[in-house]
Amino acid sequence: MFFRYNSKAWTRIALEELPTEFQDINLVVNSKGKRKILTAQSIVTAELVKKLNGKLEQPEYKTILREAVKLGGTSLVNCEERIRVKDGWISPGGSKAPIPIAPRAPIDVTK
Q: What is the pLDDT of residues 5-48, one digit of tens each?
A: 888 999 999 989 999 998 888 888 888 888 888 888 888 888 99
Sign of the torsion formed by the C-alpha atoms of 38, 40, 43 and 46: negative
Rg from Cα positions in the chain: 23
pLDDT confidence of residue 17: 92
Question: Mean pLDDT in the chain?
Answer: 80
Q: Residue 10: helix, strand or coil by DSSP?
A: strand
User: Is it the case that residue 67 has pLDDT exceeding 70?
Assistant: yes
For residue 76, the one-letter residue type is: L
* Contact predicate 59/65, CB 8 Å: yes
